[in-house]
Structures are given as structure tokens and as C-alpha cells.
Structure 1
Amino acid sequence: MWNKIALILVIIGALNWGCVALFATDVVGFIFGGTYSVFSRIIFGLVGLAGLFLIPSLFSDKKTD
């Protein structure tokens, strides 16, 4: 379950970076009141933690559900 939550957060982060690159628009910042608002920074922090959480899965041979 935690892997799925982390994967969803990482996908959100990847889509946000794609929007920044393609459209110069920070969607998370737009939704939560600006790039530097407390809520945006919490979301960005959660995305970063999710990325760190998933690093070991790169080196694992086990299939996760």
C-alpha cells in the first residue's frame, strides 16, 4: 500500500515537472496558492520523501503489489 501511495506522489511530481518544462506552469503551486506557499511546500516535500522511499525498489528483484 505504501509503495502505491509513494508511486502516485512521484507521478504527480513528474507530471508537475513536465508542466513546468512544457508550459512554464507550476500546477501544484497554482492549485495550492503559489510555489512557496506552505501547502505547496508540504506537497513538494511529500513528493521528495516518496522518491526517497522508492529508491530501494530500484535495486530489488521482488515484484511489489
Structure 2
Amino acid sequence: MSGLQRFALALVIIGAINWGLIGFFQFDLVAAIFGGQDSILSRIIYSLVGLSGLYSLSLLFKPDREVVPETSRT
């Protein structure tokens, strides 16, 4: 997994946790940390999470690499 894929996955997880908090407790963690939903920092985080989600769609359809076992040589 490349660094970009790990970064995108981390942001998707942050977004999922934030949506879970909104759904269960009506608490927006990103807005609370960065000064409300209308602050520029919150909008940047929301945008990065959205772009990471779109990028992660490509990972969903990426074929798995097949591992070919080595034959033992005697």
C-alpha cells in the first residue's frame, strides 16, 4: 500500500468516525476542533475527506495481486 493510499484511508476513517459521532450524538468533531462548520480549516478537512473517499473508490475496484508460491528445489 502506497503512502497516498494510507493517507486517503486515514482520512476516510476520520470522516467515518465524524459521521458516526454526528449520527449517534449530534456532535461534529471536526467543527468543534476547527471552529465551526463555516471556518476555512473545517472546510479544508471536509474537502480532503471527500477527495479521499473518491480516491478510495479506485482502491475498491483494484485487483488483488496474486501470490505465486515458489516451488521448493532440492
> What TM-score does the superposition give when structure 2 sets the normalisation length?
0.81
Q: 1:52 aligns with which of 48, 51, 54?
A: 54
Whether 1:29 aligns to 2:65 is no
Could you say which residue in structure 2 is the equivalent of 1:14?
A: 16
Cα RMSD of the aligned pairs, angstroms, is 0.9
Give the secondary structure class of the aligned counterpart of 1:7.
helix
4+ residue stretches of structure 1 with deviation over 6 A?
A: none
What is the TM-score normalised by the length of structure 1?
0.92
User: By percentage of residues, which structure has more helix?
Assistant: 1
Tell me, in whole angstroms, the C-alpha distance in 1 between the residues paired with 2:63 and 2:22.
33
Shift in Å, 1:36: 1.3
Sequence identity (%): 49
For residues 32 and 53 of structure 2, the distance between their equivalents in structure 1, rounded to whole angstroms, comes to 22
Total equivalences in the alignment? 63
Gaps of 5+ in 2: 66-74
